[in-house]
Amino acid sequence: MDFYNFKIKEDFHEYSDMIRPEIKQLKIQQYESKNLNSGVFMGILSSSVSISRYTVEKKKTEDQPDSVLEIVRNGLKENAITGIEDDYEEISIGWTPYESPYDPDFEKFSFVFGEYFIFSLRIDKKKIPAKIIQKHTAVEIAKRLKESDREFLSKNEKTDIKDQVIEHLMGRIPSTPDIYEVIWDYEQALLFFFTTQKAANEELETIFFKSFKQKLIRLFPFTLVETSPSFTDSERDLAANLSTIKFSR
Amino acid sequence: MLDISISYDKYKFLGNEFLTWLWYVIETNINISELIDNNTENIIFETGNSIVLENSLGDDSTEKISIKGDDAGLEEGATALKKGAVVTDINLVMKIDENEFQFTIKGESMNITGLKTPSAGKIDKNDNIEGALLEKAYLCNSVFQIIDKLFIVFIKKRISQDWKNSELVKIRNWVKL
């Protein structure tokens, strides 16, 4: 907070003390928000992007437009990312506004852009390099051998030591955030996810259903045929019965 | 519908066959705008800077051939095709009138990576973000719309009665060259 106070003071020159406290607090919040997010909301707008696609399984009962907005807003708010509360927790997953990846406040930042819902999935994960685990485990094993005056440790003892080392390190290292943007065309029931990483796609599918009670169907050759209105049922059956051919003789 | 992971594995060959067919379409200068009944835009595809082919060797093992680099010749790819390989990934340059896109598409997933769209202009104020996002969404969508239309054309041909006597013969003649 000292840093921000200092910067705020710099921005307002020496007049900051003359500003009403509630206004000053608002300015500090805006400043923090701006600094937390400035320059980071590129993703979709970067020069090169990777995309996997989904169709959103339609619900049987169609929602009214007003309630759609509420459903999406609530889903995002209820499943917004929270900080890793437990020091030993490995992963935290949740939504955050596109314009504000590190301040998941859907009251302050919009998720509606034209006809699309645009927001981000953030995955904070603690990643301990294998070599660090290896080093600390070796040090602990050596220590245990010396203390017990033994030449060997059993496999179980070594595993226990490794688990303790991982738990200890988990409490010490910060998590690394990864941010993946989502463009959801609600009308067309189409969703672009701006990554092709398998693990991120699986997390998206899980949290999307949890948030909006709608299932995502990945679009790949089979599902493209199954979901495209350009095919009749008999054409879909023919496609489903195809098998590989050789293009060479 | 089949289980998603089963259907993904079972039908990934359709995506690879689609990319192989698309390579044939590009190399034999077939008019893509006509192919997808687009009378309003001039759509041109060119092969980009990489192509990956895979040849099933029959004993659960596969041979993978990767050709990369702007100046890399595709002769090795043609040789692999003659041996029975199919395209699994291809980098493409797509031109829609004056707009140029470049991307790599993977057959089994139809995922697109490294998509470069025409410039959406510099964003210097937060106010411009919405406009830039909507333009980018539109540009990304344009790529998928054309790919989807081409995929539909391919599948319609692939399931037609004529496939073996018409399109497949033409592709095999191209592979033989």
**Cross-chain residue pair A221–B18, CB shorter than 8 Å:** yes
Q: What is the pLDDT of residues A26-65, one digit of tens each?
A: 444 444 444 455 445 568 999 999 999 999 987 655 666 6
Mean predicted confidence (pLDDT) in A74-97: 85
User: Tell me, what's the pLDDT at A170?
Assistant: 87
Interface membership of A114 toward B (CB under 8 Å): yes
pLDDT band at residue A173 under the 50/70/90 scheme: confident
Q: How far is B163 from chain A (nearest CA, A)?
A: 11
User: Tell me, what's the pLDDT at B177?
Assistant: 73
Rounded to whole angstroms, the Cα distance separating B172 from B137 reads: 38
In B, minimum Cα distance to A202 occurs at B5
Residues of B in contact with A237 (CB under 8 A): none
Contact B102, B91 (CB under 8 A): yes
pLDDT mean values, one per 10 residues, chain B (177 residues) = 83 96 95 92 93 85 87 74 93 95 97 91 70 94 96 97 94 88
This prediction has a pTM of 0.83
SS3 label, residue A121: strand
User: Tell me, what's the pLDDT at B78?
Assistant: 83
Residues of B in contact with A53 (CB under 8 A): 110-111, 144
Q: How far is B42 from chain A (nearest CA, A)?
A: 23
